[in-house]
Chains A and B, each alone.
Chain A
Amino acid sequence: MNIHFDERLDGELTVIDKAEVLADLQNASPDLILLHREEDLHPFECDGLAAYRVLPMLVAMPETFEQVQTLLKRCHHLGVPVVTRGAGTGLSGGALPLEKGVLLVMSRFSKILGVDPDARLARVQPGVRNLAISEAAAPYGLYYAPDPSSQIACSIGGNVAENAGGVHCLKYGLTVHNVMRLDILTIEGEPMTLGSEALDAPGFDLLALMNGSEGMLGVVTEITVKLLPKPETAKVLMASFDDVEKAGRAVGDIIAAGIIPGGLEMMDNLAIRAAEDFIRAGYPVDAEAILLCELDGVEEDVNDDCATVRRVLEAAGATDIQQARDDAERAKFWAGRKNAFPAVGRMSPDYYCMDGTIPRRELPRVLKGIAALSEESGLRVANVFHAGDGNMHPLILFDANQEGELELAEDVGGKILELCVAAGGSITGEHGVGREKINQMCSQFKPDELTVFHALKAAFDPKRLLNPGKNIPTLARCAEFGAMHVHNNELPHPELPRF
């Protein structure tokens, strides 16, 4: 089913003349940069989910807190929706504009406001790139732990909105575990501080709620993150397997041995070949699967753990085990993994990246299911997997120029996510729901649960002006979606209107 914003299903938006909104905002905030000509809007018509494009009504590029505040107050008054965008690297269409909405681009908020090495905190603006924080902290021997693959480009504001992860989540957590404090503006333009530089704050944990809320509860204007001391050393082992299931079991064996690796990644043969062809990381192209296991910490412990992991991998049937000899080789091993997406992109005109999570024990079953879907559809699927924390990234290869292939890829993707839900997992581990997975939310949550989500939204934004249509589907949308998944001839939600 189509994911385009449909006012019949997703809720009506205010009908308002673009010229009127433009004049109102220019009048209220004369120095605010506002883009309104079609040719200026085009660069903002999509985020990292490029298959979906919508021209926003206007693009606002504020530079000051006051400009954001004024913009929100005016939009709230006019009833105009606001979609907030960071670096635009998101993969789920979370920053997909609305024709009838203002796109609030926060990329000019790009200052690092302070690094306090003794408190191990950094205060940054939301447009600061993820990697820039670690670079600023590096002179003190500190770094910011979450490292999504897009870390050279993605902004910390977007990381907060999506609760971004990365390859080191199992040990170091997601964004929510590493953010101490957020300064936000509500849709009414009220400033609010959530969390604190201390380790807790009085009242409800709104800080936790804001992480991963996809720009639907407030607009982040400043972020304080926790910095960690850089591990003394990091070593990586690469194990080859002649069977994907054996590799999957080895992952559980490592954890069962009481070891929490800094990173534990798996790639299947198609992903290995793509990465090797692109990066020359030294991957074994004949292996059915490889595991990359990074152990970090104090030198002596890491050496002990490397020996343990090597024994575990041998016992699990690895056909070859290599340990990176030095940091250069370690970086090369990781470069293959971190560039797996663009590498796969070179093999096919288009690819569609999924983000389901599963309990690790379900891996063999879900991989079989994916293989069956691939065969049935004729579309190739490469598997890249944050194995340590059960987060899969199947990449579905297709050609959008071929009639019907995008729809076919979406259909396969949707079915993969439903496989994950059926296995006790989730439709998204780190990329977010955005617009992309809006229909699959209906599979993961019951109407009563979605109703609680809508209640949370209503507490912050009763007029539904912040990023409407993302993250949480309306019950009407789920009824429509459910109608296409009729079981036993029983129509779900018979009480709801259908279109």
Chain B
Amino acid sequence: MTNTNQPLPHAPDMTEQDNAETLCEQVRQAYRERSPLRIVGGDTRAFYGRAVEGRALSTLEHRGIVHYDPVELVVSVRAGTRLSDLEAALAHHNQMLPFEPPRFGEASTIGGAVATGLSGPRRPWAGAVRDFVLGTRVITQEGKLLRFGGEVMKNVAGYDFSRLMAGAQGTLGVLSEISFKVLPRPNATHSLRLTMPIDEALKKLAELGRKPLPITAAAWHDGGLHLRLEGGQSSVKATHERLGGDSLDASFWQELRDHSLSFFQGTGDKALWRLSLPPNSGTLALPGVQENEVLYDWGGSQRWVKTSVDAETLRRLCQEAGGHATCYTAHQNGGAIEPFTPLNPVVAKYHRNLKRELDTYAIFNPGRLYAEF
């Protein structure tokens, strides 16, 4: 068991820069010219979603922490700030972004993390990106910098535009600044591996899930259930003793989060898919998929699959199980044409309406999510 309650000795050195006005002007120009923009931070997530044709609008010069008050549990940060810099600044005060945003490269920015809305292994227990977004500053199609939400924990004034921006992949506006709720890092952590087949692991997870245990990550791969315990010293120790198993290096979770585990290396001619399924879903019979081509994360709710099964079949199977499937391999590298599960006609209609209201001339990342928006 490791004690994580040790602040780093120095805050990271971060040059900050407010480039909002330049970004607004670039958007105003694009709006006047009706010319599309490809919003880009560290450009580490371009594989996620459809390819966007457009002039690059870089957030990288718009960076730095605007305001951080550890006692308020709130940090406000410019979109172009590197994830690694932000997380180091939080760690200096023994705090963290609870949703564990993946980094697909050192250049990953917080703006990209929020725009793509991806969360790491702690997600089922702590919440997703959007759950920790308290407020945003957004550049609208007219190039106006507007503020939604704020730096307080509770705020129900007006519509929750800020959470809508999380995961919208920059198709509704440019994220300029984001305020997050942050949390203290847990006092203690211990990771372990229990050897057991997947069916037994899923049963065990359902059973453990009904108990108030300090579990904050659960993944199954290669014959082993991997668990992370986080919380107070006493409860982590007690749960560790109760569950037993072999000790697991905590770096496993970071490698899982960032897709740097060997499972994710070289999928050959197969595409990498992410299946999102209801909690307590059983194993899916995917044609031609071997057990070692599936990695279960989020206690079984998020599954990574390497397969050449066609998108339609995969999506039908997921839909029947109450979930959906996303292709993580870009189309030009052999992935599906549509990375995201197509929307039903009514839902698509209201997506279209929203896009039309907020991005009338389709200047923001057009076609990134779906061909029509």
Contact = CB atoms under 8 A, between A and B. Distances in A.
B153 A301 contact: no
Interface string A446-473: 1011101101111110000000000110
A481 B322 CA distance: 48
A118 B131 contact: no
A274 interface: no
Most A Cβ at <10 Å: residue of B5, B157, B159, B209: B157
10 contacts: A196-B323, A198-B301, A205-B168, A209-B161, A386-B154, A389-B153, A426-B150, A430-B154, A452-B140, A458-B357
Given A258-B94, A304-B234, A459-B354, 17 more contacts: A118-B279, A120-B209, A121-B278, A196-B322, A205-B168, A229-B212, A297-B212, A298-B212, A298-B234, A300-B238, A301-B235, A359-B152, A390-B154, A426-B155, A428-B156, A449-B146, A452-B146
B102 to A, nearest CB: 14
B214 to A, nearest CB: 7
B106 interface: no
Chain B interface size, under 10 / 10 to 19 / 20 to 34 / 35 or more:
35 or more
A93 B215 CA distance: 41
A358 B151 CA distance: 9
A163 B156 contact: yes
A204 interface: yes
A388 B213 CA distance: 24
Contacts of B232: 297-298, 300-301, 304-305
Given A231-B212, A390-B154, A391-B154, A297 B231 contact: yes
A359 B69 contact: yes
A130 B282 CA distance: 30
B280 A209 contact: no
Contact of A456 (B324, B326, B354): B354
Interface stretch (B57-65, B70-78, B262-270): B70-78
A118 B164 contact: no
B28 interface: no
Given A199-B301, A213-B159, A459-B357, A229 B210 contact: yes
Interface in A98-155: 116-121, 140-142
B347 interface: yes
B158 A198 contact: no
B144 A298 contact: no
A433 B344 CA distance: 32
Most B Cβ at <10 Å: residue of A162, A165, A212: A212
A190 interface: yes
B14 to A, nearest CB: 23
Interface of A: 116-121, 140-142, 162-163, 165, 169-170, 173-174, 176-177, 186, 190-194, 196-206, 208-209, 211-213, 217, 229-232, 252, 255-256, 258-260, 297-298, 300-301, 303-305, 357-361, 386, 388-391, 424-433, 437, 441, 444-446, 448-450, 452-453, 455-460, 471-472
B83 interface: no
B167 interface: yes
A199 B158 contact: no
Contact of A424 (B151, B298, B357): B151
Contacts of A252: 71-72
Contacts of A360: 71-72
Contact of A460 (B127, B131, B153, B353): B353
Contact of B154 (A203, A298, A429): A429
Contact of A298 (B156, B231, B350): B231
Nearest to A142: B210
Interface of B: 5, 69-74, 94, 117, 123-124, 127-128, 130-131, 140, 144, 146-148, 150-161, 163-164, 166-168, 172, 183-185, 187, 206, 209-214, 231-235, 238-239, 276-280, 298, 301-302, 322-324, 326, 340-344, 346-351, 353-354, 356-358, 369-370
B147 A449 contact: yes
A389 B126 CA distance: 17
Most B Cβ at <10 Å: residue of A199, A305, A390, A446: A199
Nearest to B135: A426
A453 B161 contact: yes
A426 B154 contact: yes
Given A173-B131, A425-B150, A460-B353, A452 B358 contact: yes
Most A Cβ at <10 Å: residue of B131, B158, B168, B234: B158
A141 B232 CA distance: 22
B96 to A, nearest CB: 11
Contacts of B353: 458-460
B225 to A, nearest CB: 16
Nearest to A249: B71
Contacts of A303: 234
Contact of B168 (A116, A204, A232): A204
A119 B211 contact: no
B280 A119 contact: yes
A298 B322 contact: no
Contact of A452 (B161, B163, B347): B161
Nearest to B125: A228
Given A198-B276, A441-B158, A444-B157, A359 B74 contact: yes
Given A190-B346, A258-B187, A359-B152, A118 B158 contact: no
B166 A117 contact: no
Contacts of B238: 298, 300
A177 B160 contact: no
Contacts of A119: 206, 278-280
Nearest to B235: A298
Contact of B322 (A192, A197, A472): A197
Contacts of A446: 146-147
Contacts of A453: 158-159, 161
Contacts of A455: 357-358
B117 A205 contact: yes
**Which 7 pairs across A and B sit closest by C-beta, in order of nearness?**
A300-B234, A301-B232, A429-B154, A197-B278, A389-B153, A298-B235, A208-B163
A303 B235 CA distance: 11
A300 B130 contact: no
A200 B209 contact: no
Nearest to A233: B212
A229 to B, nearest CB: 4
Given A119-B278, A205-B167, A359-B152, A427 B231 contact: no
Contact of B157 (A300, A389, A428): A428
A357 B350 contact: no
Nearest to B347: A192
Contacts of A390: 72, 152-154
Contacts of A472: 158-159
